[in-house]
Structure formats: structure tokens, C-alpha cells
Chain A
Amino acid sequence: MKRGLVVLDHAEIPEDERAGRVAALQRRLPADGVDVALVYGDVYRSDDVGYLTNLCIYWNEGIVAVPATGDPVFLTKLSPRVHTWMRRTSNVEDLRSGKSFGPLVKELLAGREPGVVGLVEGRLWPATIVADLTAALPGWELRPLGGLVREQRLVPSEHELALLRDGAALMARATAQVTPPGPATAWVSAAERELRGGGYAEVLVDTATTRDGVASIEITGQYRYGWLRAARVVAGTDGPAWASALDTALRAAIGAARDGAPETDLSAAARPALAGLPDGSVHDVAWTNQADLATNGDFERHAGDMRLALGAVGAITIDVALPDGGRAVVADTVLVGEESAECLTKG
């Protein structure tokens, strides 16, 4: 859960860039005929909210209301007692707390002529909140929108990339400590100290083992509002050959990550090195934009054809399910260039 450093630092992201994020969203609203856009977040999935406000929903739920013109407002089920802290860590000044969102949004829109409220990524909103808003806003149309904020986050700005590089350096140091003999809890412990001690807000670690003694550790973490991932296998000197081939496959996939490349190019590049996996193994070679790493891309995985964009940062993950139930994972976070990708998390 989110319990690492939360900070608003104008030296990292200038104030005008933060304001520009809101303005970019506002510029899109008239085209959709939207008077006010609402962006929902909860403790698990709140990066759109964080991007617009720098607010960390460390518990419960919140909504950022962005009018077509004017300043954003944050509506939350968190208590007013934490408003002081929120103001200290956010560019949003208007914070409103309540037990449910219907009355909060109703109060926000009081006095305005009914129009259109756009729900950013509306298909993923809790249906009960949509019903709550519908009941609270007679005369208003609630219109589901696509991932307007996510789209802004898919290619980082210069300042965002600088933060991602800082986070990647910490991640590289954390994974450098993944050395034999383990145990895995020692690697996890070291990663927590390295990453949270370096300022990560969130660290998610997954470990796995196989029956032939191959251990994996996958570390996914959030540094400010950017996400990074690295995963390593530890097989020891007498480990199976397929384990060492995983890193070869990952390097090949990274080599295929370039501007405009489809995700299938990564799989094709990795495939030869994965030929030696035990019979019956199943492997995935996945690209997950860092903007989607909080959820591992669970909601975007089936979005259809996806091509890598110049300047995008994301994780390339090779996840192997072995026929005996074991699992092995390797991953790195890369920056997509015109002809190749730069691996950010390999020290």
C-alpha cells in the first residue's frame, strides 16, 4: 500500500507544467461537449488523480473535478482532518470531504445550468457511484469518456523522464542486491530499504520459485507518480540452462523495442532464446507502459493492436509459467527511441 514518500517539489515538476496538465485536459472538453470532467481514483488505482493534483489517495476514494474553465476541485471520502497535509502536497487548493460523492458533486455544480458531466474512463468507475451521481444531478447528462488523462501520461515530459531516470537508478541498485543464495525475503527486505529509503511512494514485490530451484523476484515501484519495474531470476551456477536464456530473451525483446514497433515484435525477438524452456511451458512477453504499471496493464491488455511510441517508458516483462506450476519472471523498464530502446533499470 502507498506509504512511502509523498512530496510536492516544484524543482522536480515546475508549477506551470502542473497547470499545463490540467489545461491540456480542459482543452479537450469542449470537443466532447463536456462542461465538467470527473476523474475517479481509489487507493489502488489513482495515477490520473496524482498526475493532475499530486494528491496521494493513500486510503479510500477521491474524484478530481475539472471544469472546462477554472480551477480543479478535489472531492474525497477522506476526512477534512487531512486537508492540511493535502494542501502541503498538492497544487489543488479547493478540497472538499464528504461521506458520498453524489452530494459533493451536487454542491459543486449548484447554481450552474445543467449540462454534461464527463466521466473519465467511465467504464471503470464503480457503477454505484455513477448511480449516486445520476440521482444527485437531475437534468445533467453523465457521459462516459475515454482515458483522456491516461493518454497525457503515456509519453513522459522532460521533467517526468528525469524523475523516471532517478527512480530507475534506485531500482537498478535494488536489483543488484538480488544475489544467491537468498532467501527471497532477504531480497524483498533489501529492495524495500533501497527503494523506500530513496523516496519511492510504493513498492510491490512478487517472488516465485520453480521446482528446479530457480527463484524470481519482480519489483514494481512508484517514484513520485512514475512507475518502474525490474525482475530477475536467480538460478545459481548449476541452475537449468533455460533460466539463463531468459535474460537473453529479455535483451532481445528490448532490442526490438523501437518507435512504432508492435508488441508482437518483442515476442518475436524473444522467441528464439525461449525455445529451450521446458516442454509445456507457457510464456508471455508483454509491454506495459509505465502509466499502466499500477495495475500491470490489467485494464488495457485487451485493447487490441498496440504500437510503441517514441519517448514512451514502459516495462518489458517475460513471464513464464512452467508445467509443474512454477513461475519465472524477468523484466526491465526501457525508454523507447527511434531505432532502439534504452534500458533504464539495468545498472
Chain B
Amino acid sequence: MTRLLDGGATASPAGVVPAGGPPSAGDQAERDRRYRLIRSAMADQGLDALVAFAPGWRRENVRYLTDAPVRGSVALVLLPAAGEPVAFSVRRADAAAIIAGGWVTDAGVLELPEAAALTSRLADLAPKRVGVAHGELLPVVLADALRSAVPTAEIVSATALMDDVRLTKSTWEIARMRRSATVCEAGWRAFVDVLEPGLPEYRIVAEVESELKRLGAEDNFMLIASGGDEVRGMTPPGRRLLEDGDMVRTELTPQMDGYWLQICRSAVVGEPSDGQRRSFDLFNEAVDAGVSVVRPGVTAHEVAVAQNDVFRRHGYGEYCTSQYTRVRGHGHGLHLDETPIIEGNETVLPEGAVFIIHPNTFTPLAGYHVLGDPVVVTKTGAEILIGTERKLFSTSEERAS
């Protein structure tokens, strides 16, 4: 039954029943696949119920369970080991969007601080063991409410459980990520097209954002850096004006239909210097090396080692350390920064895992350089998901062509 619960908030009277309609057969199959996987993992861990918590900056698990975009500061889904899930948000529009999506047909407004709509449903289940995905981020007020609702239950983290389930993307998901890839390519094209001396960094971002949103992107995560050899990392944009000879770097990560995908490229304003060309060659070789080792069962560690070995071979190994860089890539999906591709991370990457290979770091050759392609693990290796040429872009070459 489709219904909209209401927590009793005076600002959110009950009775709104959005017209959503049932999901398509394909969507239904995808939802069933997800719930089956999660419930299997719950059974392995002895969980009677799972609570997926979405604070404003980590909504991937609620999206995974509902396929609906939510915007509230707090949203949750309660998935019992058996029976239908129920969703909550502090915003009425979220509850309506969830119901309209058709995956979860029981959704309501959560009134803080009591969160009574959630806690009463959880208490009704009388669980012995509850897993909370992103429980690490639960605010005190909600953590206390959950504990009070099920005082004798064991409450454990289910963050890793959900991370593991989401790691392997289905055909359904990869189809969505291919749309993200198309938008990545267009975003990079907009980035290159706007570069010219005298343009402030933040105006570049404005043009890229405008293009991404024109194409329907829900959101975008983007860092930028411009300048020469002195650039040590990526940040939000400033007022710095581009100069001839600058290398302008970006990590550009649009979100389409929930799915994030990243492209990393660098472009030179004017003609590239010898150092910039040598830097590109080094990073390109590292990306190639990372791609070359991808196969079902490869570990994140092995993909990182393949990239770092290129730097070591050329005498730049020290620039693969945390003093200069963070990771050699990371997973993609409903969160933009899933499992890190870094030495020491033994996470196995199965067929269907999607991640970016980017050896981004500083070297003395040309300062911080970013270059990377997102890939999906296939039966035989890696498929690069974007069609953007991997080269050192330069405005002089682009304008000439």
C-alpha cells in the first residue's frame, strides 16, 4: 500500500499521497537483487534489522535502498530481515520522492529530536541485533533515540556491510554510470573551452557547473588548481587569474541518477613546457600501468603498486607518499569516494567494480599533476568508461583544431 506517514509535525500535515506508480520490471529486479544481497549479509552477521542512516553528506546507502534522491539533513531507511522497508526524512518532500520512486512505499516525516516515527517502528521489530550503516556519523540525539528504542539490543556498525554490497555494480548500475561518463566528457570539454589568460579560477568552475547541470547532472564534486611548478594540491577555486603557461588541473565528478564518476585531466594555457610534457608522460605511463593489472580479483593494493612502481622506476617514488598525495584512485558509485586505491588496501575488486585510476601527485617536473580514467572491471580486464583522449591538453592546440 502506498502511504505517507507523518510524524505529527505541525508543518507537515498528513494525507499527501504522491502518484508514483510501480517500478518497471528492470527496476524491480534491481531492487530485489539489492535487498537479497543485503539480507544475505545481514543473516551472515546475525542482524535482525538494518538502519541506513544518511546525514547530508553521506546519502549513498539510503539511495541504494530507495533509488530516490533525498535532500534532508537526516534520512533513514529501516530494513528488517523480513518484511517491507520503511523510510524517513526530516523533509516531507523527501518522503514524497521516495514513495514516488516506488522502491519503498512506506515513508514518513521524521520529527527531531524524538524521532518517534522511526523508534516506534524499530521497537516493534524487537530486534536482538541491529546494524546501522553510517552509525559512526549518527548525531548524539539520534544515537540516544535508537538506544532508548531497543535498550536490550546489540547495536553494531553496518557501514562495511553496505560498502561491500555496493562494491559490485550490476548491469543496471553500470548503464547509469555510462550516462555519468558522457557527462564527464562534456564537463571536461567545457573546462578546456573556457581556459584563457586572465580568467579567474572560480569562473572556470561556473562554466563547467553550468554545462553539467544543463545536461542533467544532480551534483558535482570538483577540485581545481592552476599555476606552475609550485602547485602542491587541489582545492576549491580562488580569485587567481590564469596566466599563459599555467597548467590547470581538475578532478571533475558529476553525479547522474545518483551515480558519481570522475575524470582527471590537466590542460596548459598556451604551449606546454618541456617539464609539463615530461610530467604528462610519467603520469600517463602510470595510468596505463594501473589499467594493465586490472582483472577480476585484483586488489586495490595491486592497482596502486602498479602505478607507484612507474614513479619509482623513474626516480620519483618519494612523491607517492602521503607527504605529497592521498590515493592512487578510488571507487565510484552512489558515493564518489568509495574504496581507496592505495598500497595496503587489500580489498578485492571483483568484476563489476568501478573505480578511477589516478596517480595524482606533486613532482618537481611540473608541480601537482592530475590524470585519470574511471574503469569497470570486466571478465578479462578493464574497460575505460570515458572516451576523452588521455593527453596533455593545451589551449593552443585546441584552438588550432
Residues 17-56 (chain B) with a chain A CB within 8 angstroms: 17-20, 55-56
- B residues within 8 A CB of A327? 93, 96
| B205 on the A face (CB < 8 A) | yes
- B residues within 8 A CB of A18? none
The residue of chain B having its C-beta at the shortest distance from the C-beta of A3 within the complex is: B222
Contact of A196 among B13, B90, B209, B233 (CB under 8 A): B209
CB distance from A91 to the nearest CB of B (A): 16
| B315 on the A face (CB < 8 A) | no
**Cα distance A319–B19 in the bound complex, in angstroms:** 18
Contact of A192 among B143, B209, B324, B326 (CB under 8 A): B209
CB distance from A263 to the nearest CB of B (A): 9
| A203 on the B face (CB < 8 A) | yes
Residues 184-235 (chain A) with a chain B CB within 8 angstroms: 185-186, 188-193, 195-197, 199, 201, 203-206, 208, 211
Q: Mark A153-195, 1 if CB is under 8 A from B, else 0.
A: 0000000000000000000000000000000011011111101
| A70 on the B face (CB < 8 A) | no
* CB <8 Å contact, A185 and B73: no
Most chain B CB within a 10 A radius of its CB, from A186, A193, A199: A193
Q: Mark B191-233, 1 if CB is under 8 A from A, else 0.
A: 0000000000011011101110111100111111000000011
**Cα distance A228–B323 in the bound complex, in angstroms:** 39
**Cα distance A286–B72 in the bound complex, in angstroms:** 15
Contact of B73 among A128, A298, A323 (CB under 8 A): A298
* CB <8 Å contact, B18 and A185: no
CB distance from B382 to the nearest CB of A (A): 27
- Contacts known (A192-B209, A327-B93); A58 close to B140, Cβ less than 8 A: no
User: Could you name 25 residue pairs across A and B whose Cβ atoms are closer than 8 Å?
Assistant: A3-B209, A3-B221, A3-B236, A3-B237, A4-B206, A5-B236, A44-B56, A56-B236, A125-B140, A130-B140, A189-B211, A192-B209, A193-B210, A195-B206, A196-B205, A201-B236, A284-B12, A298-B73, A302-B111, A319-B92, A324-B19, A325-B17, A325-B19, A325-B100, A327-B96
Residues 43-67 (chain A) with a chain B CB within 8 angstroms: 43-45, 56, 58
* CB <8 Å contact, B206 and A58: no
The residue of chain A having its C-beta at the shortest distance from the C-beta of B143 within the complex is: A127
| B387 on the A face (CB < 8 A) | no
The residue of chain A having its C-beta at the shortest distance from the C-beta of B57 within the complex is: A44
- A residues within 8 A CB of B113? 123, 302
CB distance from A145 to the nearest CB of B (A): 12
Other 10 A-B pairs with CB < 8 A, given A195-B206, A298-B112, A319-B93: A5-B236, A42-B56, A127-B143, A188-B213, A206-B93, A296-B73, A299-B73, A301-B9, A324-B18, A325-B18
| B239 on the A face (CB < 8 A) | yes
* CB <8 Å contact, A185 and B139: no
| A126 on the B face (CB < 8 A) | yes
**Cα distance A148–B113 in the bound complex, in angstroms:** 19
Binds B, one of A80-88, A109-117, A248-256, A335-343: A80-88
* CB <8 Å contact, B96 and A190: no
- Contacts known (A193-B207, A324-B18); A295 close to B111, Cβ less than 8 A: no
- A residues within 8 A CB of B238? 5-7, 88-89
Q: Mark B51-81, 1 if CB is under 8 A from A, else 0.
A: 0000111000000000000011110000000
* CB <8 Å contact, A5 and B20: no
The residue of chain B having its C-beta at the shortest distance from the C-beta of A325 within the complex is: B18
* CB <8 Å contact, A4 and B96: no
| A122 on the B face (CB < 8 A) | yes
Give the interface size class of chain B: 35 or more
| B136 on the A face (CB < 8 A) | yes
- B residues within 8 A CB of A189? 210-211, 213-214
Residues 1-47 (chain A) with a chain B CB within 8 angstroms: 1-7, 42-45
* CB <8 Å contact, A7 and B239: yes
- B residues within 8 A CB of A325? 16-20, 96, 99-100
The residue of chain B having its C-beta at the shortest distance from the C-beta of A58 within the complex is: B236
- B residues within 8 A CB of A56? 236
Using a Cβ cutoff of 8 Å, how many contacts connect chains A and B?
A: 181
The residue of chain A having its C-beta at the shortest distance from the C-beta of B72 within the complex is: A298
| B91 on the A face (CB < 8 A) | yes
- A residues within 8 A CB of B12? 282, 284
- A residues within 8 A CB of B144? 127
- B residues within 8 A CB of A122? 140
* CB <8 Å contact, B236 and A6: yes
The residue of chain B having its C-beta at the shortest distance from the C-beta of A319 within the complex is: B93
- B residues within 8 A CB of A84? 232-233
| A79 on the B face (CB < 8 A) | yes
B residues neighboring A (CB under 8 Å): 9, 11-13, 15-20, 55-57, 71-74, 90-93, 96, 99-100, 111-113, 135-141, 143-144, 202-203, 205-207, 209-211, 213-216, 219-224, 232-233, 235-239, 322-326
**Cα distance A324–B18 in the bound complex, in angstroms:** 5
* CB <8 Å contact, A144 and B140: yes
**Cα distance A206–B219 in the bound complex, in angstroms:** 11
* CB <8 Å contact, A126 and B74: no
* CB <8 Å contact, B232 and A81: yes
- Contacts known (A42-B57, A89-B238, A197-B203); A126 close to B137, Cβ less than 8 A: yes
* CB <8 Å contact, B138 and A127: yes
CB distance from B200 to the nearest CB of A (A): 8
Residues 245-292 (chain A) with a chain B CB within 8 angstroms: 280, 282, 284, 286
**Cα distance A2–B17 in the bound complex, in angstroms:** 34
- B residues within 8 A CB of A197? 202-203, 206-207
**Cα distance A255–B131 in the bound complex, in angstroms:** 49
* CB <8 Å contact, B17 and A199: no
The residue of chain A having its C-beta at the shortest distance from the C-beta of B56 within the complex is: A44
- A residues within 8 A CB of B90? 298, 301
| A241 on the B face (CB < 8 A) | no
Q: Mark A297-312, 1 if CB is under 8 A from B, else 0.
A: 0110110000000000
* CB <8 Å contact, A203 and B73: no
* CB <8 Å contact, B112 and A299: yes
Sorted nearest first, the 6 A-B pairs with minimum C-beta distance are: A325-B18, A44-B56, A196-B206, A197-B206, A189-B214, A298-B73
* CB <8 Å contact, B15 and A1: no
| A108 on the B face (CB < 8 A) | no
| A135 on the B face (CB < 8 A) | no
* CB <8 Å contact, A321 and B93: yes
CB distance from B66 to the nearest CB of A (A): 16
**Cα distance A123–B115 in the bound complex, in angstroms:** 14
The residue of chain B having its C-beta at the shortest distance from the C-beta of A40 within the complex is: B139
The residue of chain A having its C-beta at the shortest distance from the C-beta of B235 within the complex is: A85
Contact of A44 among B73, B100, B136, B233 (CB under 8 A): B73
- A residues within 8 A CB of B325? 81
Contact of B71 among A6, A125, A206 (CB under 8 A): A206
